Chains A and B, each alone.
Chain A
Amino acid sequence: MNMQIVMLLGQDGVTNGAVYALLALSIMLVFSVTRILLIPQGEFVAFAALTMAAMQSGRAVQLGWLVFALAVVATLMDAAKVWRSKGREPWPHGTLGLLAVAALALVLTKVLPLDRIGMFAQALLTIALVVPLGPLLYRVFFQAIAAAHSLVLLIVSIAVHVALVGTGLLMFGPEGGKTEPFSDAFFEIGPAMIASQTLWVIAATLALMGGLWVFFGKTLYGRALQATAVNRLGAELVGISPDLAGRASFTLAAAIGVLSGILIAPITTIYYDSGFIISLKGFVGAIIGGLTSFPVAALGALFIGQAEAFSTFWASSYKEVIVFTLLLPVLVWRSLAHTRVEDEE
């Protein structure tokens, strides 16, 4: 194993690790605001990657139908709620906007020559298709049971994941998809070649994290989401709607998922069910961070990315086994550290 291979594997590890870190962030965000472990996080990634791939290969994009159908259901649910309250409950804003976006995106995927509109437009259309999926899933499956026991939330989360994977097979078929890289350029640094896609992934990840840092640290809405995570009753008493906070966190989760999907689609072949294993690695990063500490989770995610890249080289068929086995000592350490903290309190 020479220096060149180490650099190459390291590069793979950093790219994957960056994406896992993003997903870890998203899973932690949703969990702390809503207590929901977002098992379908990976579906945002896979659906985005496969939608991009379908556009580029000139196949029909069917995701618009799913999003539109969910938007119609969500609108009907809102209407039923307003009707049941005999008009005393105001019409919740948001869902109608989602319906409009879903309808527009659906029409665009049917009329545009998708393989010839360019990568940037393809990416925008993918974002418009997949991001509404986040708040719609929250509205349709979680909003009504937001106060339920977290075990109930977990079960529903798993059910939604399974249903989405099934729909994914219907929409995208069993074949995998891969997209064009953003650019073909390579940079030579010392003995190694750095693919420009790696730099794209790193730059986009850093930009997204910076954006989220500004959002949570500096804006009223970001603080409001944080407040919901810290104290639900307090947040409700100052007028932060838990429904809105739930939808906002799911919107961010979908947005992070889509960007991750677009970023890794040129590097890895994605199948309709690839989302789970990808988000599982993000989830493991989140667990390393104890579902609360993002910097630790990000480091954990990077570590997983590296472990994965190097085990691919040494024993590629045992890749996942090695990655998840490496976690056992980390989890043992965490659970010991956790008990100690509790004893101190």
Chain B
Amino acid sequence: MTALAPTTPPLLSVRDLSVSYGPIEAVSGISLDVPEGHIATVIGPNGAGKTTLLSALMGILPSRGAITVDGVETSSPTIARMIAAGIALVPEQRALFATMTVEDNLVLGGFRRHRDPHYDADETLRDVYGRFPRLWERHRQLAGTLSGGERQMLALGRALMGKPRLLMLDEPSLGLAPLVVRDVFQIIAELKRTGVSILLVEQNARAALKVADHAYVLELGRVAMEGPAAELADDPRIVAAYLGKTSRHQEMLTA
């Protein structure tokens, strides 16, 4: 889309963000940036606060700290405000419309743009079907009857229908077969090429670090490490903790 001038402020910039569930602080003083056209990834063990972070950024949970979109600062934004800024979230639980058809789910994904005169719903729908031929094959099927992998595709496709500028993905490879995981990361890389910025939360640290530009390691609600993704991928601590031979399970790492 736009060229990345050095003076351009990051599309999304977060300063000192904290989120609490009652007395328990699940996210404590996190700062991060997603520059336009970049992929930032957040990795970390279960319960580190990754989902909480994304929920707060989308305005689902109230938070303290500054969230800046396009240079406009807000604190504790509403969902409507983040949507208006062009941000989309594929939440951990997917939140599909289970008793409606695949096509209805996708069409509703474009609801946020239905008043936009430049938005062509049919063309966007064709694009999404082109990206996910499986969804086209099943377009009359009810979303609740899809397989786990198809559901992930639908969740991603529904978010893409709204033509977001920043896509926040919560574990898009969760529960997918290895071949499909490869497809998902390929799609993420393609999206970046079309100018979409991405904030990616992943358990599959190896694949996430490969596709991302910048990475943040979250532990116990704080940023424990951050840096260019390629550097972190070579960092011995990361290799030991997240990329070891048995990297499927990161839980063992907390020590």
Binding site for B on A (CB under 8 A): 88, 220, 223-224, 226-227, 230-231, 233-241
Take A237-B91, A239-B80 as given contacts and tell me if A231 and B98 are in contact as well, using a CB distance cutoff of 8 Å.
Answer: yes
User: Chain A residue with minimal CB distance to B77?
Assistant: A88
User: Chain A residue with minimal CB distance to B81?
Assistant: A88
Docked-complex contact B111 and A220, CB < 8 angstroms: yes
Docked-complex contact B114 and A237, CB < 8 angstroms: no
User: Chain A residue with minimal CB distance to B158?
Assistant: A238
Docked-complex contact B114 and A220, CB < 8 angstroms: yes
With a cutoff of 8 Å between Cβ atoms, the chain A residues found around residue B58 in the complex are 237
User: Chain A residue with minimal CB distance to B113?
Assistant: A239
Docked-complex contact B108 and A233, CB < 8 angstroms: no
Docked-complex contact B97 and A233, CB < 8 angstroms: no
Q: List 28 A-B contacts (CB under 8 A).
A: A88-B74, A220-B114, A223-B104, A224-B111, A226-B97, A226-B100, A230-B98, A230-B99, A230-B100, A231-B95, A231-B97, A233-B91, A233-B93, A233-B95, A234-B94, A234-B97, A235-B97, A236-B79, A237-B88, A237-B91, A237-B95, A238-B109, A238-B110, A238-B158, A238-B162, A239-B80, A239-B83, A239-B113
Number of interface residues of B (CB under 8 A): 29
Docked-complex contact A223 and B88, CB < 8 angstroms: no
Take A234-B96, A234-B97, A237-B91 as given contacts and tell me if A220 and B107 are in contact as well, using a CB distance cutoff of 8 Å.
Answer: yes
Binding site for A on B (CB under 8 A): 58, 60, 74, 79-80, 83, 88-89, 91, 93-100, 104, 107-114, 158, 161-162
User: Chain A residue with minimal CB distance to B110?
Assistant: A238
Label chain B's interface by main secondary structure: mixed
Docked-complex contact A238 and B80, CB < 8 angstroms: no
With a cutoff of 8 Å between Cβ atoms, the chain A residues found around residue B107 in the complex are 220, 223
With a cutoff of 8 Å between Cβ atoms, the chain B residues found around residue A238 in the complex are 108-112, 158, 161-162
Docked-complex contact B111 and A239, CB < 8 angstroms: yes
Q: From residue A223, how far is it (CB to closest CB) to chain B in Å?
A: 6
With a cutoff of 8 Å between Cβ atoms, the chain A residues found around residue B111 in the complex are 220, 224, 238-240
- Select which of A223, A224, A234, A241 is within 8 A of B95 by beta carbon: A234
User: Chain A residue with minimal CB distance to B80?
Assistant: A241
Docked-complex contact A227 and B98, CB < 8 angstroms: no
Beyond A223-B100, A238-B162: 14 further Cβ-contacts under 8 Å?
Answer: A220-B114, A223-B107, A223-B108, A224-B111, A226-B97, A230-B97, A231-B98, A234-B96, A235-B108, A236-B79, A238-B111, A239-B113, A239-B162, A241-B80
Q: From residue A146, how far is it (CB to closest CB) to chain B in Å?
A: 13
Q: From residue B129, how far is it (CB to closest CB) to chain A in Å?
A: 18
What is the bound-complex CA distance between A227 and B109, given in angstroms? 11
Docked-complex contact B79 and A237, CB < 8 angstroms: yes
With a cutoff of 8 Å between Cβ atoms, the chain B residues found around residue A236 in the complex are 79
With a cutoff of 8 Å between Cβ atoms, the chain A residues found around residue B74 in the complex are 88
With a cutoff of 8 Å between Cβ atoms, the chain A residues found around residue B79 in the complex are 236-237
What is the bound-complex CA distance between A236 and B100, given in angstroms? 16
Q: From residue B77, how far is it (CB to closest CB) to chain A in Å?
A: 9
Q: From residue A98, how far is it (CB to closest CB) to chain B in Å?
A: 20
What is the bound-complex CA distance between A233 and B95, given in angstroms? 6
With a cutoff of 8 Å between Cβ atoms, the chain A residues found around residue B60 in the complex are 233
What is the bound-complex CA distance between A231 and B162, given in angstroms? 18
User: Chain A residue with minimal CB distance to B104?
Assistant: A223
- Select which of A88, A227, A239 is within 8 A of B97 by beta carbon: A227
Q: From residue A233, how far is it (CB to closest CB) to chain B in Å?
A: 5
With a cutoff of 8 Å between Cβ atoms, the chain B residues found around residue A230 in the complex are 97-100
Q: From residue B139, how far is it (CB to closest CB) to chain A in Å?
A: 14
Docked-complex contact A224 and B80, CB < 8 angstroms: no
What is the bound-complex CA distance between A226 and B95, given in angstroms? 14
With a cutoff of 8 Å between Cβ atoms, the chain A residues found around residue B80 in the complex are 239, 241
What is the bound-complex CA distance between A238 and B58, given in angstroms? 12
With a cutoff of 8 Å between Cβ atoms, the chain B residues found around residue A241 in the complex are 80
| Most chain B beta-carbon neighbours within 10 Å: one of A88, A220, A223, A230 | A230
What is the bound-complex CA distance between A226 and B100, given in angstroms? 9
Docked-complex contact A231 and B108, CB < 8 angstroms: no
What is the bound-complex CA distance between A240 and B95, given in angstroms? 13
What is the bound-complex CA distance between A275 and B110, given in angstroms? 40
Docked-complex contact A239 and B112, CB < 8 angstroms: yes
